[in-house]
Amino acid sequence: MPLPQHIREELERKRHAEHRQAERDSFWAWVRAALMCVAWSVMGLTVMAWGLHTTDQDLGQVAWRGGMIIGYAGVVVTLARAYLKAKERGDM
């Protein structure tokens, strides 16, 4: 026996609102991930810039390479974590 029209419409409105909320949550999760990638890149570039600024050659090399590691590793870990969370939410 089919559901009455008013119950179907109510269920449709409820599912549509849930879908909008899920899309919004997914969007903001990816925006946060993108902002974290930018933050890690800026941190890495800051350390690299300090490596260029310092007068000690050995310390400068350590800071330069450390900045590259900080920047790249931060971005990779952020994207991997965002992917796993999206998969857990059911976005993927």
pLDDT per residue as tens digits for the range 28-86 = 999 999 999 999 999 999 999 999 999 999 999 999 999 999 999 999 999 999 999 99
pTM: 0.83
User: Domain map of the chain by residue range?
Assistant: 5-89
**Rounded distance between C-alpha atoms, residue 49 and residue 2, angstroms:** 68
